[in-house]
Amino acid sequence: MVMNLVKGILLTARDIVPISLFLIVFQVFILKSPIGDIKSLIFGIALSILGLYLFIKGLEYGLMPLGSSVGANLPLLNNKALIIIFAFILGYTTTLAEPALASLAMEIEELSVGTMNNRWLIHAVALGVGIGISLGMVKIMYKIPYTHIIIPMVLLAAILAYFAPDNITGIAFDSGGVTTGPVTVPLNMALAIGLSSVIGGSDPLIQGFGIIGLASITPIITVLLLGIIVRF
């Protein structure tokens, strides 16, 4: 047990330490700027290593098995409409928990001098993710080819981007990116794979993946629509 713990922490450190060393070397020798509080820096890196290790283990033992189990048992509802509604609620609520989205929304509200309320943006993105996850469930249950859904979504986003105000377009596409966070991705992907694995004639490699892509493109559409409505 202890050996596995040490091994896991060392493997996590292997990912974080090289990045930290690169930044330190770049600042000291290229930017020629001294490092501030060395002790705080080392302590912060150590906390990052431990925190990332604990988070990964939390996903491994908690969120991912739970999402997969729920997905595998969804057919017991015997009601496709309820499954779609459940997927929407899950996508919506997990997005509200994304820290990256909250940070992005606060930055936008500050730069726009309050023109766009950060709660509007957060709920617009959450709405988009909910729609995207719901479309993913529809794709899995009805075995719809992925391209038949994603191509119209991309075309719709391109059309809306043409009509949306210039200063909302970049925000919309960045909003789609922040949905691929540590809460949304593992839970919703496990849900999709769990559902696709129990549906007869469904290949989890074909139907189970792609849901995160849908959850990334639909928020772009909803934020572009928000920009058109409020003329940010």
> Are residues 208 and 196 in contact, defined by beta-carbon separation less than 8 angstroms?
yes
* Range with top average pLDDT, 130-134, 182-186, 198-202: 130-134
Give ∠ CA 53-55-57 in degrees, rounded to 5: 70
| Cβ atoms 92, 126 nearer than 8 A | yes
* Matching residue, tokens 């509604």: 85
- With pLDDT > 90 as the criterion, what percentage of the chain qualifies? 31
pLDDT tens digits, residue range 151-172? 999 999 999 999 998 888 988 9
Per-residue pLDDT reduced to its tens digit, 20-72: 999 999 998 888 888 888 889 999 999 999 988 888 888 888 877 887 888 88
Closest alpha carbon to 161 in 176, 147, 148, 146: 176
Predicted pLDDT at 113: 61
In this structure, is the dihedral angle defined by the CA atoms of residues 158, 160, 165 and 171, taken in order, positive or negative?
A: negative
Length of the chain: 232
| 8 Å CB contact between 180 and 211 | no
pLDDT score, position 52? 87
The mean pLDDT value for 79-96 works out to 90
User: What pLDDT, on a 0 to 100 scale, did the predictor assign at position 115?
Assistant: 63
More confident residue, 45 or 107: 45
Residue 176 banded pLDDT, cuts 50, 70, 90? confident
Helix (H) or strand (E) run with residue 213 in it: helix 211-230
Residue 153 and residue 169: Cα distance in Å, rounded? 16
Average pLDDT rounded to a whole number, residues 114-140: 87
Helices 64-73, 184-198: inter-axial angle, 10-degree rounding: 30
pLDDT given at position 206: 77
Q: What is the pLDDT of the chain when averaged over all its residues?
A: 86
pLDDT of 232 > 70? The answer is no
* pLDDT level of residue 134 (50, 70, 90 thresholds): very high
Please give the average per-residue pLDDT across 81-101, as a whole number: 88
The whole-angstrom separation of Cα 88 and Cα 82 is 10
Q: Is residue 141 pLDDT above 70, yes or no?
A: yes
Of the given ranges (84-93, 98-107, 148-157), which has the lowest mean pLDDT?
98-107
pLDDT band at 147 (very low <50, low <70, confident <90, very high): very high
Q: How far apart are CA 117 and CA 204, in angstroms?
A: 40
Is-contact 159 225, C-beta < 8 A?
A: no
Residues 6+ apart with CB under 8 A from 231: 165
